[in-house]
Amino acid sequence: MSGLGKGITAASVGRILKNRGYWVTAVKIDPYLNIDAGTMNPAQHGEVFVLKDGGEVDLDLGNYERFLDIELTSPHNITTGKVYRSVIEKERRGDFLGETVQIIPHITDRIKWCIKNAAEEPFPNGTTADVCLVEVGGTVGDIESMPFLEAIRQMRGELPPHDYVLIHVTLIPEDTMGDLKTKPTQHSVKALRELGLHADIIVGRSEHPISANTKRKISAFCDLPQNAVISAATVPDIYEVPMEMEKEGLADVLTAHLGLGKKEIDTAWYRVVTKEYTNRITVAIVTKYGIEDVYISIKEALKHAGRALSTEVKIAWLDAERYERSQLADYDGILIPGGFGKRGIEGKIEAIKLAREKKIPFLGLCLGFQLATIEYARNKAGIADATSEEFGEGTHVIAILPEQEGLTHLGGTMRLGDYVADIRDGTSARNLYGKESIVERHRHRFEVNPKYIPDLESAGLVFSATNKNRMECLELPGHPFFFATQFHPEFKSRPTNPSPPYLGFVEACRMNKRTK
């Protein structure tokens, strides 16, 4: 069912295989009618993750990239909207030669084609994947998921032996006496069987580990070996899940089903994600959405940087409209994330002003970058009514650039995905990245208005990275760490390769804590 942890389970399965030297890719199937996640409310759906090609996708693809150390593209997120649109477009062109277009075979054939197309997409070095993970979102029995489950059923008969394994992630709740109940799993497996699907492996999600007795019961009722019942108890850190599944013997069961040879385990990734902390900092994130799932990539990027610096990063989530301004000085750093709309903007700007004046380490991301520009324009560059074109009347130091004007719809019309940024010599950005040119991912519509850049820079603000006439990074000389990016560096952060701006921010927070 939704929200159970299928994405982390799929990513963990991939990590287990990758640690044995296999090339792994992943596909996420979302049964909603939206073409992509770009126009969906993040407070309802969670974070919109952006891929290198600009695809706006489900947050689970972010987990795949972080766990598997890969970069995916838009075809790796399949939605009902994408599938139906492509089939209807073919029908309008007459590609079906007068056939009656139906769910079976036309929709299911398209789903299978999409899966195979994504699975065969080569990695940058030309290698193709040994294994493709396919996560089917939603809940078994939902009407919207039926065509996808039927396509999955058909694929089993079409693929060679040992080329298919079905892992069913199911809830195993506790009753008031602390006993784990298997009845929901039994009914879930029954629902699968009614659709012609048989689980080869069951991953049982529970708060506490599943006992051998409970595994025997599931094995007996669900018709699979006991060693194919895998306990997935809640753990403190998602990066511990692959290790716990290793202990459960998932790798042996999985490789046997897929006919893969046994290989020695590379434990380097496990050593990185279990590194001990020797320091602790607390960072205030001033947000307008109030839902942590909106900022999963930011949370993980802070965690990656913290691991690299042996520093545990605690997060205080502050509502931009309600937080106590006097409390901000108590935190080791302030982070302003991205977002859309006018609500909560003034609270974010006040937080940026305090970080600048009180020398508190500050990191601004996307909207945070734009608001840092507005704050500096108002309070240091003499543009008292500075604002963004997004927010209404005033002097638009943030605006739609001429080449972006005339857009008639919202979906997919922002600056999305990878863009190159050239970094100025002698800046904090150059020190952080250690190179002249970088590639980072974007998701925004408004830019710093070039008309006001001379005024801002003459007042002391430095735009340290650019893409043509677009500003990409800003910083403030003489401040311990005042840095903001128009792009989203968190989307490329990995446990083994933390994002440079996050590394700099966490290090500055750590130094700030020592000097308090």
Could you tell me where in the chain the CATH 3.40.50.300 domains are found? 6-271
Q: What is the pLDDT averaged over residues 439-445?
A: 94
Strands (E), 15-164: 24-30, 49-50, 56-57, 77-79, 131-136
Catalytic residue among 390, 396, 488, 509: 488
Q: pLDDT value at position 42?
A: 77
Give the rounded percent of residues in the chain with a pLDDT score beyond 70.
97
Segments of the chain assigned to CATH 3.40.50.880: 275-515
Among 420, 429, 435, residue whose Cα is nearest residue 503: 429
| pLDDT tens, position by position, 328-366 | 989 999 999 988 888 889 999 999 999 999 999 999 999
SS3 content of the chain, % helix, strand, coil (to 5): 40, 20, 35
pLDDT band for 75, please (50, 70, 90 cuts). Answer: very high
Tokens of 228: 């194919």
Mean pLDDT of 262-272: 90
- Is position 488 annotated as part of the catalytic site? yes
pLDDT, tens only, 204-229: 999 999 999 999 999 999 999 999 99
Length of the chain: 516
Token pair of 252 as six digits: 């042996």
Check residues 515 and 19 and name the one with the higher pLDDT.
19
The DSSP symbol for 294 reads: G
Q: Which parts of 13-73 are beta strand (E)?
A: 24-30, 49-50, 56-57
The answer to whether residue 403 scores a pLDDT higher than 80 is no
Mean pLDDT of 103-124: 96
User: Could you tell me the two tokens for 409?
Assistant: 């719809």
Which helix (H) or strand (E) segment holds residue 296: the answer is: helix 296-308
0.85 surpassed by pTM = yes
The matching CATH number, chosen from 1.10.10.10, 1.10.3720.10, 2.30.30.240, 3.40.50.880, for 275-515 is 3.40.50.880
- Please pick, among 47, 475, 490, 507, the residue that the annotation labels catalytic: 490
Cα(234)–Cα(208) distance, rounded to whole angstroms? Answer: 7
Active site residue 509: no
Task: Residue 415: count other Cβ atoms within 10 Å of its Cβ.
Answer: 18
Is residue 408 very low, low, confident or very high in pLDDT (cuts 50, 70, 90)? very low
As a whole number of angstroms, the distance between CA 294 and CA 145 comes to: 24
Determine whether 479 is exposed, middle or buried from the number of CB atoms within 10 Å of its CB (0-12, 13-18, 19+): middle
Q: Is 198 a catalytic residue?
A: no
Query: Comparing 81-90, 223-232, 411-420, 451-460, which segment has the lowest mean pLDDT?
Result: 411-420
Q: Choosing from 366, 396, 444, 475, which is the catalytic residue?
A: 366
CATH C-level class of 6-271: alpha beta
| Pairwise CA distance, residues 476 & 33, whole Å | 45
